[in-house]
Amino acid sequence: MNQQIYLDNAATTRMADAVRVEMEPYLGENFGNASTSYGVGQVSKEAMEKSRDIIAGTLQANKEEIFFTSGGSESDNWAIKGIAGALKNVGHHIITSSIEHHAVLNSCEYLERLGYEVTYLKPDAYGIVSPEAVQAAIRPDTTLISIMFANNEVGTIEPIAQIGRVAREHHILFHTDAVQAYAQVPLSMATLPVDLLSASSHKFHGPKGVGFLYVRDGVNMPSFIHGGGQEKGKRAGTENIAGIVGMGKAAELAHENMRRRIRWEIQLRNYLIERVLHEIPDSRLNGHRSMRLPGNANFSFKGVEGGALLILLEEDGICASGGSACNTGESRISYVIEELGVPMEYAPGTIRFSMCGDTTKAEVDVAIASLKKNVAKLKL
């Protein structure tokens, strides 16, 4: 096979070398349990709290508002099920969108089976959920609004500040799944009207199996995993110290280089989009042209089957995806693409490229050449 060109960073990222180095002592000599009082345990606790400080700083939040989890799915589940349960005597209505990650959608479906009512807002053709639609969906018994910060498939960034203000005006808690956005674009809890925010380490060059949930001070958040007193009694279980340390280092690195990296990713993204749309007939861009994640480009090609195209790209050493990595292996058209109303002659031929700060222009050129060749081959 040709040299691998990795353009699927929305699925996962390569762990940074500096992150691995930072983690190594906590996979060896610094093995202590952070809940113990003796020296080796306190070394682990101090490292964990340092990471909590770093992550809180990147969000302009308080460290007491950061709770470590196993990743984005757990954080989403905790936020939605936790708030729904805590406020069940207030109301049983939740507002979300129809293009959320399955961690949100399946949590809402679970709550529906328990008697809750959920309104699934449809986005416009660019994937934007309008604040006006959120406003119109609010009922006296609405207790939670959950709208993702940026879509994992098409990359559209939602008007989170405006939606958050709508939620505040009605005294409704607001959660955002920021798994694709945290460490990719600037986020400040000092200015964003967001009450709960989910993130996952492996999306920003940290280790897999660790993430966090931001819970604004004053929000009554019940325990999600019951057992010991870890995470202020909210999330039991011996902490994944090495993972937490790695996530803290990855967050630190991502925010140190954020402005430069965003500029580079946008430059590459726009270069890729312009060349594909101008050089490949019957191609279309999905998602908003500019209100999108810096490194995301999602295309559909008329008369092409996306699965076959991905196989041919892989033969050329190009790693891309058909959408969410969680749906790999499914043959049906992505529900996100369906909700955006992509025409049926284009929808099956949908693929996503997602770049990072390490992606080079030469790699993008190789990917475009492979894409042009293989789209033409599939149309024969």
3-state secondary structure 52-115: HHHHHHHHCCCHHHEEEECCHHHHHHHHHHHHHHHCCCCCCEEEEECCCCHHHHHHHHHHHHCC
Which among 266, 378, 355 is positioned nearest to 5, based on CA atoms? 355
Report, in angstroms and rounded to the nearest whole number, the Rg of the chain calculated over CA atoms: 21
Pairing assessment for the beta strands 211-215 and 196-200 based on DSSP bridges: antiparallel
Beta-sheet strand order (sheet of 93-97): 66-69, 211-215, 196-200, 173-177, 142-146, 93-97, 117-121
Tell whether 60 and 139 lie within a shared domain.
yes
Q: What is the pLDDT of residue 149?
A: 98
Do 139 and 157 form a contact (C-beta atoms < 8 A)? no
Tell whether 93 and 240 lie within a shared domain.
yes
CA distance 11 to 203: 7
Q: Which residues are catalytic?
A: 326
Tell whether 123 and 240 lie within a shared domain.
yes
Q: What is the pLDDT of residue 1?
A: 47
Tell whether 170 and 272 lie within a shared domain.
no
CA distance 331 to 314: 17
Q: What is the pLDDT of residue 379?
A: 87
Residues whose CB falls within 8 Å of the CB of residue 343, separated by 6 or more in sequence, listed in order: none
CA distance 251 to 204: 7
Tell whether 147 and 204 lie within a shared domain.
yes
Domain final residue, candidates 221, 256, 291: 256
Please give the single-letter amino acid code of residue 271: Y
Tell whether 133 and 242 lie within a shared domain.
yes
CA distance 85 to 77: 12
Distance in angstroms between the alpha carbons of the first and the last residue of the chain: 24
Segment-wise mean pLDDT, segments of 10 residues, the chain, 380 residues: 88 98 96 90 95 98 98 98 97 98 98 98 98 98 98 98 98 98 98 98 98 97 93 94 98 96 98 98 97 98 96 97 59 90 97 98 98 93
CA distance 370 to 272: 13
Tell whether 98 and 232 lie within a shared domain.
yes
Q: What angle do CA 196, 197, 203 make, to 5 degrees?
A: 165
Tell whether 81 and 161 lie within a shared domain.
yes
- The H or E element spanning position 259 is helix 258-279
Q: What is the pLDDT of residue 2?
A: 67
Q: Is 378 exposed, middle or buried (0-12, 13-18, 19+ CB in 10 A)?
A: middle
What is the domain extent for residue 41?
Answer: 17-256
Tell whether 267 and 328 lie within a shared domain.
yes
Tell whether 210 and 276 lie within a shared domain.
no
H-only helix segments in 131-215: 131-137, 160-169
Q: Which residue has the tokens 């949100």?
A: 104
User: Total domain count for the chain?
Assistant: 2
SS3 content of the chain, % helix, strand, coil (to 5): 45, 15, 40
- The H or E element spanning position 49 is helix 39-59
Do 161 and 192 form a contact (C-beta atoms < 8 A)? yes
Tell whether 165 and 246 lie within a shared domain.
yes
Q: What is the pLDDT of residue 104?
A: 98
CA distance 41 to 33: 5
Q: What is the CATH number of the domain that holds 23?
A: 3.40.640.10
Domain final residue, candidates 207, 232, 256: 256
**Token digits of residue 224:** 């999600």
Domain final residue, candidates 193, 221, 256: 256
Q: What is the pLDDT of residue 332?
A: 75
Q: What is the pLDDT of residue 377?
A: 96
209: left (phi over 0), alpha (psi -120 to 50) or beta: left
Q: What is the CATH number of the domain that holds 349?
A: 3.90.1150.10
Tell whether 231 and 271 lie within a shared domain.
no
In this prediction the pTM is 0.96
